[in-house]
Structure 1
Amino acid sequence: MDLYQHFREEEYPYIDQVLSWRDEVTERYHSKLTDFLHPREQKIFQSLIGNEETLKLQFFGAWEDAERKRALLTPFYEEITAKSFEVELLQAKYPEKFVTISHPDVLGAFLSAGIERKKLGDITINDGYIQILVAKDITTYLISNVTSIKKANVQFHSIPFSQLLDSTNRWVENTATCSSLRLDVLIKEMYQTSRQQAADLIKKGLVKVNFQTIEQAAFLLEEGDMLSVRGKGRSRLKEIQGKTKKDKVRITFEKLL
């Protein structure tokens, strides 16, 4: 059976990468630690490696509901702990009475410092504190170079995972019946807009699927796909339940409040 038939063509290079990691660990008996992976990448990794009896695969993102996680692939006998993932939790306090800071503000500050997104995990903002999980090898650079967000001066420092703030992610589950799994159709259902408006958003490059801009309205979604529509928030296709008697597709999806 052709392995690639289960995946999208644009995912083939990543599949090749995962398979090369598998071969490397199997043949050389040493571990492979990845950068932070988004949920779709994690799902592909798990589906390709999950049943390998001689290997062990684990993910870590600090928060229980973390989206971005580092993956560690090891021989089955290796012990894996939180330290194995080589990450640090950074925290900074900001004056919430005088400035409002959002997730994009924090991410923008880090990216502006020249950091690649793949080196950064999830971000939580709660009660005047910002926490972000980062790859350990860039911690010193980040602390020195990210000293302001919007108009607020901040000073990040490393803290133990025991001080992890509660995640502020709140997902609300909904069900819907759609004519198909086309991107424009699902945006129409998930964001309560017209199909033409959905098509316009896609054409303007305002829609991402699994963190990649998609400009084809006919793009077909799969279970577990994450959607982001600029100005309208994020959602994910949680489950494809099957078809109705009228040949419609019944889905369960979640929206981030």
Structure 2
Amino acid sequence: MIGDKKKYLEHIQDEDQIITLRKILDNIEKVIRNHSIVSSDFLDPYQRELSYSILNRFNDISYHEEGGYDNAERKVIVMYPDYLKYSDLESTISAIEVQAKYKHANLGHKDFLGALMGLGVKREKIGDINVSDESTQIIISSELSDYIIFNLDTVGKESVDSKEISLQKIDNVEEEYNKIITTVSSLRLDTIISAAFNISRSDSSNIIKSDKAKVNFKPIDNISYLVNEGDLISVRKKGRVKLKDILGESKKGRLRIQIYKYI
């Protein structure tokens, strides 16, 4: 038994993540008590980072990320006794391929996510959804794969066919983006958001103060937060950008940067 679980959460400052991390502690307790193999829900990179700050305090627990493919954004954490080998464990996730019966159906990520949630599937049971012109690949908790295959017959207003595919057939996709090269006065978050989305500094400051911005999936409400090269910035209802490169200084002393703005 773990004992007082509160002590493992004392360092967590983001109250919105407490429930998620309590579930991680419950999973750890199951592994210790029952010598069982337990999988978390799908978590974003920020949530996984917080989870590891707890998992690393238990020496008799091993864990491994599983998202279906190398670049997966949402992954589960498989927890198991340290005397087991991960390579001997069965996967806890599955992949479903969905094809619209009408080849030119214009369906996007939101359409597929909405269709799944319309079937009663919770968001935390859904991994990445990779949409392409030919088909869409959805990573899902294994216990739900049959249910989805038998019940997912419509996405948006389009009829679809669904089938399970092996994890080895998942496309290791990269998000499409536009490259933006611009100059900024500093690497403050409000400055980068202003440049990336072509809005005023005042508007970008209001976005941050309204808890609508995240850096590497972590909520940030400080307009002076300094962005680092490689950081992923998401703004609610506007999209996501990455500060790809810092290219040096312009003749006027401003910073030249390259931004990837995801489509």
**C-alpha displacement at 1:98, in angstroms?**
2.5
Alignment map for 1:216-231 (pairs within 5 Å): 227-231=233-237
Checking the alignment, whether the CA contact within 8 Å between 1:32 and 1:73 is kept in structure 2 is yes
Match of 1:63 among 69, 79, 85: 69
| CA distance in 2 between partners of 1:4 and 1:170 (Å) | 39
Query: CA separation of 1:28/1:231 partners in 2, compared to 1, >3 Å: closer, same or farther?
Result: closer
Residues of 2 paired with 1:5 and 1:178: CA distance?
34
Q: Distance in 2 between matches of 1:222 and 1:24?
A: 39
CA contact under 8 A between 2:216 and 2:231: conserved in structure 1? no
Count of paired positions: 248
**Stretch moving more, 101-110 or 169-178:** 169-178
| Residue 124 (structure 2) aligned to one of 114, 118, 122 | 118
Matched, 1:91 2:81: no
Give distance in 1, aligned partners of 2:178 and 2:87: 32
- TM-score, normalised via structure 1 length: 0.74
Partner of 1:159: 165
Aligned to 2:241: 235
Partner of 1:134: helix, strand, or coil? strand
TM superposition shift of 1:110? 1.1
In structure 2, relative to structure 1, the CA distance for the partners of 1:83 and 1:109 (3 Å cut) is: farther
**Which is further off, 131-140 or 60-69?**
131-140
Q: Which residue pairs with 1:39 in the alignment?
A: 45
| Alignment partner, residue 243 of structure 1 | none
Alignment partners' CA distance in 1, 2:21 and 2:226: 18
One-letter amino acid of the structure 1 residue matched with residue 23 of structure 2:
Q
Structure 2 counterpart of 1:248? none
- 2:210 aligned with 1:209, yes or no? no
Q: What are the ranges of 5 or more consecutive residues in structure 1 without an aligned counterpart?
A: 240-250
**Counterpart contact for 1:148–1:154, Cα < 8 Å:** yes
Distance 1:65 1:153, change over 3 A: same
- 1:136 counterpart (122, 127, 142): 142
Deviation at 1:116, TM superposition (A): 0.7
**CA RMSD in angstroms, aligned pairs only:** 4.2
Distance 1:38 1:12 in 2: 15
Is 1:31–1:75's contact at 8 Å kept on the other side of the alignment?
yes
On the 8 A contact 1:178/1:189 being kept in 2, the answer is: no
**CA separation in 1, counterparts of 2:71 and 2:127?**
12
Q: Secondary structure at the match of 2:86?
A: coil
Contact 1:36–1:69 under 8 Å retained in 2: yes
Partner of 1:246: none
CA contact (8 A) 2:61 2:82 kept: yes
Aligned letter for 1:228? S
Q: Distance in 1 between matches of 2:180 and 2:42?
A: 29
CA distance in 2, matches of 1:174, 1:42: 30
- Secondary structure, counterpart of 2:173 in structure 1: coil
Equivalent pair of 2:70/2:172 in contact (CA under 8 Å): no
CA–CA separation in structure 1 for the residues paired with 2:94 and 2:60: 29
CA drift of 1:188 comes to 2.3
**Deviation for aligned residue 1:33:** 1.1
**Number of the residue aligned with 2:250:** none
1:63 is displaced (CA, Å) by 1.7
- Comparing 164-173 with 192-201, greater Cα deviation is found at 164-173
CA spacing shift, 1:181–1:58, aligned 2, 3 Å: farther
Kindly name which structure, 1 or 2, has the bigger radius of gyration based on alpha carbons.
2
Q: Which amino acid aligns with 2:125?
A: K
CA contact (8 A) 1:236 1:255 kept: yes
Using the TM superposition, give the Cα deviation of residue 81 of structure 1 relative to its aligned residue in structure 2, in angstroms.
4.1
* Deviations 1:54-82 (CA, angstroms, capped at 9, x unpaired): 22110111121101111111111112249
Identity across aligned pairs (percent)?
Answer: 23
Partners of 2:200 and 2:241 lie apart in 1 by 17
